[in-house]
Structure 1
């Protein structure tokens, strides 16, 4: 209450200073939104405004409370001069409720009224019951009993008591049923309403005119609590068919303003990034101090991180929590039970967790489990007043068209809409402009938009490293993907009609995009050590150890497959140790690493065997670890 009074006082003082100016309330609506990976730029247009001569204050009320003040700018069409732009939080303006919430609240009110009427009926029946119980004596003690009348009175009393009890039970059942309906409606209202996001903003544009005129105004500003990230569905019918790729954008916003029927653009840019070019400091070389050690990074690989997100106070699961890899386009959301899993790109180790009404958390994530407890946001928004505005130049968006579908998570229905999407590659980012008006409500829910469906010719190959794993992994290589402006993100893999799991689609590769389609159990690979061949010989001060391995593989599929097998022989790192290659079955050998590669076409139901033999010579008094 104190903050509202303070805000009202500040507003009064602010407008009192400009009491000599004309104050005009301006009607406006959101015409376009550009959604970035983190945040969004809103384009708001006014109706035609009548401007009197002199200085006027144009008040745009009920805007988002999460406006980035530095981004606020105003433009106008007409004979006038914009003097300043001021933004302030309006604690007195109640946020408009959505039509859906108003409908739900009306239904809840009707049910509450009906429950009250039923409770009144129960009270009436209870009063009748009490009256019947108090009037059990139908005659005085000195009056002769008329048995017929007595029986009739008792029967009437019994009948009315039974009817009253039955009515109460029936009404209580009806009240319980209505209470269940009311509870469901209240849960829906809470879901629609979301968590508190603060108060609305007012923007005041101060203009000056030499004569009375008319004009239209445009406001642009950045808002928080909005984002999108790409994801993919990758499908392959079999190894003879093309790769089918569905390119999706997962959009959500909780800015406090519903984006209804707006021109929607999705951009891979991030306006919060530091735009300063890097500076290279002086490389000073000196003697190493004691305890200094070099950092030796391990081989970079993508990691799967999974866990659960809960409320910090009651440990309740939080569904729909946005999870993003910091400084990346990779993201996901928690399921209805608060669980999540996400593929971490190479070199990334920071995850950002954000949810409506909760403090965001940035955590270090490594391979494995990461459970998160989010705290509710108790920070109060403070009033901000700014004068002046910056200028930005909007890029013209143009490009080719593609089909688009709209899919809402959690449902099986897909509404196919013949919308157009213009894909535009700019100097520093990629944009997708949706040609038809689009609606994203301010409820924090994820809306999945299919940017396009594409078919690619793919070169399928199976890879197996039987020394490490007995599984054969199917990969698909694509070379003609650069024209559709893919962005790195998670992908759901479907092969031969079966969901195989997730993979990370890394488009930062060179000209070839390699997609891992997972394990195919119809291709078997086995590596066995031949014990009968293993022998040890002593020659003077040296000894020799021999090894023999047999690699067997079989294609149980109905199509021929390309199969690559990798293995290795040891590499000597000491001049006293030597390795003799005895049988490599025509493998390609890398002399530096000892890696062996076999590549061949395996026909349906075909089986092959490979022999790998080598001998190691080393000093007999020096133990060597030989497989």
Structure 2
């Protein structure tokens, strides 16, 4: 009997040991490294895990819910075998977050009730004041005036009115204090709701392992996440046309992956650079019967506008605005306004903002207005209130930035020079940032310095008067490929003055990069039609039209200017249309496109004139729009 009891006890203890070994082991891991692409990021987590003998399951918690499951990679060092890797969503964390919000809401209700009582006290106090002011009759109409009673009444009324005003001031102070506490609670609720981004859950990675003996192992988890991106911006500074150009290369980083990246090693990957441009470009001017250029070949090189929310029509600050398929982007200011330089072609703008659906709009006008719809993934009405409070907080931070205050956040920005090592891979360039960075999952923009470049440049002014008489200062950089620039918007500073924004165009395959440094109003260019002639011949079946354009260049500067002027003559695409070039003032002519190029050296206060004259002959029974 005793032997049987011992056997049963051993079986029970053995079964308990097995159950304990099979229980999932929760593992705390830290984000160690992030490789951030133009869209998306690769996250690497590390952890030291004690693995028991036998089969066991390791649960890596608090992982982003927005991961690409197929991208999960798990590595571990030690004498054990990884049997399986599984991904599961975890909605329990959201319940904890909701409990915290509900506890804060209870405190908010107490404060709102107190505020209601204070407001009621103000109303009662005001009624007492009105009664004291109106009740000023001391005696009847026929009664004699008692000076003593009058003095007593006046003293009483003065004392009561003074006490009334003191009480009103006290209540107002209490109202202000309660309002301040309410705003603090609203911000706390907003912080809890955004602490993991606009997500309803976290996720777990379950790793099943088998070990013959207990072992201590260093694990590494790698996976891809969405809702993370970066785009470049530049500060271009030129002292004068005889000095080198200084270029500050910066990355604007944002992420809403659902997990905070704290003190991580950050690597920026360029991916594939995109095409963009800053100044207007001439297109071939082809002629054919009944052709009409309705748009006058006007290209949109800059777009501005405003972004609002569809639910309340209020401006949205901090919205990310990007040219789809490129690295060009910006963010809206405190009033929801934005301005962005555009590349050539038919660009599409992409608007994204925390708590709202992403929207894409083609650029059809220099002025655009976007209205974003609230995301269906918002938690509840509390989330809407929280985002409203968060919008106020973000607006204040943006105002601080405009005022010149450096927003340090959580040690994400630093005035210490950033050490960056560039690595050229087969298909992209990587910038390895030596200093650790913290990028919260809040959808805000964080600036990361990449490089500081000082290089010699060749300066030249440019104008295409048919499109615009504005004269652009341009700079040509040679051997620019070694800097690994991407297409992006640039802030321009010339002669220590901010002169506007432009675009760095990295699409060129040559060794020279053209930078547009903005408009110089001290060089004036005009283009006027001298004479519009239509010659008809009675015995001829043809009609002749002549265009005679005069381009005048005036240099108002105190220094000489090298100016490139580009114009064009029409090009015939029909054998029945004949274009005769009569005068081009020595321009270089591209016969395929009709482009005319003038390289001028204009002395201070000098004026030069260029003449473009051509004749178009076509059958008189056909219609040709010459210009």
Kindly indicate whether the alpha-carbon contact (under 8 Å) linking 1:309 and 1:318 is maintained by their aligned counterparts in 2.
yes
Match of 2:30 in 1: 29
1:78-227 paired onto structure 2 within 5 Å: 78-94=78-94, 165-182=164-181, 184-186=183-185, 188-189=187-188, 192-193=191-192, 194=194, 196-227=198-229
**Residues 564, 529 of structure 1: alpha-carbon distance in 2 compared, 3 angstrom cutoff:** same
Kindly indicate whether the alpha-carbon contact (under 8 Å) linking 1:303 and 1:345 is maintained by their aligned counterparts in 2.
yes
Match of 2:387 in 1: none
- For the residues of structure 2 that align with 1:167 and 1:597, how far apart are their CA atoms? 81
Kindly indicate whether the alpha-carbon contact (under 8 Å) linking 1:251 and 1:446 is maintained by their aligned counterparts in 2.
yes
Corresponding residue SS for 1:33: strand
Q: CA deviation at 1:197?
A: 1.9
Corresponding residue SS for 1:170: helix
1:222-621 paired onto structure 2 within 5 Å: 222-269=224-271, 303-379=301-377, 410=402, 412-413=404-405, 415-511=414-510, 512-530=512-530, 541=540, 549-569=549-569, 583-612=583-612
Q: CA deviation at 1:326?
A: 2.8
Q: CA deviation at 1:262?
A: 0.8
Q: Deviations over 1:105-144 (max 9, x none)?
A: 89x99x9599789969979x99xx9xxx9xxxxxxxxxxx
**Residues 334, 625 of structure 1: alpha-carbon distance in 2 compared, 3 angstrom cutoff:** closer
Kindly indicate whether the alpha-carbon contact (under 8 Å) linking 1:63 and 1:200 is maintained by their aligned counterparts in 2.
yes
Q: Deviations over 1:242-273 (max 9, x none)?
A: 22221110001122222111111111239xxx
Kindly indicate whether the alpha-carbon contact (under 8 Å) linking 1:425 and 1:485 is maintained by their aligned counterparts in 2.
no
TM-score, normalising length: structure 1: 0.72
- For the residues of structure 1 that align with 2:448 and 2:581, how far apart are their CA atoms? 57
Match of 2:286 in 1: none
Corresponding residue SS for 1:241: coil
**Residues 210, 448 of structure 1: alpha-carbon distance in 2 compared, 3 angstrom cutoff:** same
- For the residues of structure 2 that align with 1:62 and 1:576, how far apart are their CA atoms? 74
- For the residues of structure 1 that align with 2:66 and 2:617, how far apart are their CA atoms? 72
- For the residues of structure 2 that align with 1:626 and 1:348, how far apart are their CA atoms? 26
Kindly indicate whether the alpha-carbon contact (under 8 Å) linking 1:303 and 1:367 is maintained by their aligned counterparts in 2.
no
Q: Deviations over 1:216-239 (max 9, x none)?
A: 212122222211111222222322
Aligned residues: 529
Q: Deviations over 1:385-414 (max 9, x none)?
A: xxxxxxxxxxxxxxxxxxxxxxx9546245
Corresponding residue SS for 2:92: coil
Match of 2:64 in 1: 64
Kindly indicate whether the alpha-carbon contact (under 8 Å) linking 1:197 and 1:357 is maintained by their aligned counterparts in 2.
no
Match of 2:277 in 1: none
Corresponding residue SS for 2:605: coil
**Residues 122, 506 of structure 1: alpha-carbon distance in 2 compared, 3 angstrom cutoff:** same
**Residues 455, 91 of structure 1: alpha-carbon distance in 2 compared, 3 angstrom cutoff:** same
Q: CA deviation at 1:336?
A: 1.9
- For the residues of structure 1 that align with 2:576 and 2:377, how far apart are their CA atoms? 70
RMSD of Structure 2 on Structure 1 (CA): 4.3
Q: CA deviation at 1:45?
A: 1.1
- For the residues of structure 1 that align with 2:51 and 2:225, how far apart are their CA atoms? 29
Q: CA deviation at 1:20?
A: 5.7
Kindly indicate whether the alpha-carbon contact (under 8 Å) linking 1:546 and 1:614 is maintained by their aligned counterparts in 2.
yes
Corresponding residue SS for 2:469: coil
TM-score, normalising length: structure 2: 0.72
Match of 1:284 in 2: none
Corresponding residue SS for 2:514: strand
Kindly indicate whether the alpha-carbon contact (under 8 Å) linking 1:409 and 1:447 is maintained by their aligned counterparts in 2.
no
**Residues 569, 342 of structure 1: alpha-carbon distance in 2 compared, 3 angstrom cutoff:** closer
**Residues 95, 29 of structure 1: alpha-carbon distance in 2 compared, 3 angstrom cutoff:** farther
**Residues 153, 464 of structure 1: alpha-carbon distance in 2 compared, 3 angstrom cutoff:** closer
**Residues 234, 192 of structure 1: alpha-carbon distance in 2 compared, 3 angstrom cutoff:** farther
Q: CA deviation at 1:547?
A: 6.1
Corresponding residue SS for 2:70: strand
**Residues 165, 22 of structure 1: alpha-carbon distance in 2 compared, 3 angstrom cutoff:** same
Q: Deviations over 1:60-92 (max 9, x none)?
A: 222222222222222112221111222222222
Q: CA deviation at 1:435?
A: 0.8
- For the residues of structure 2 that align with 1:185 and 1:51, how far apart are their CA atoms? 45
Kindly indicate whether the alpha-carbon contact (under 8 Å) linking 2:115 and 2:178 is maintained by their aligned counterparts in 1.
no
Larger deviation, residues 213-222 vs 564-573: 564-573
- For the residues of structure 2 that align with 1:467 and 1:303, how far apart are their CA atoms? 15
- For the residues of structure 2 that align with 1:344 and 1:523, how far apart are their CA atoms? 25
Q: Deviations over 1:469-496 (max 9, x none)?
A: 3332222211221011111122223333
Kindly indicate whether the alpha-carbon contact (under 8 Å) linking 1:409 and 1:446 is maintained by their aligned counterparts in 2.
no
**Residues 211, 594 of structure 1: alpha-carbon distance in 2 compared, 3 angstrom cutoff:** closer
- For the residues of structure 1 that align with 2:158 and 2:584, how far apart are their CA atoms? 101
More helix by share: 2
Q: Deviations over 1:325-350 (max 9, x none)?
A: 33322222222222223344334543
- For the residues of structure 1 that align with 2:546 and 2:166, how far apart are their CA atoms? 94
Q: CA deviation at 1:359?
A: 2.4
Kindly indicate whether the alpha-carbon contact (under 8 Å) linking 1:26 and 1:60 is maintained by their aligned counterparts in 2.
yes
Corresponding residue SS for 1:371: strand
Q: Deviations over 1:179-211 (max 9, x none)?
A: 442354356446645363221222222211101
- For the residues of structure 2 that align with 1:427 and 1:301, how far apart are their CA atoms? 35
- For the residues of structure 2 that align with 1:73 and 1:622, how far apart are their CA atoms? 70
Unaligned runs of 5+ in 1: 1-16, 134-149, 271-297, 382-407
- For the residues of structure 1 that align with 2:567 and 2:303, how far apart are their CA atoms? 29
Corresponding residue SS for 1:224: strand
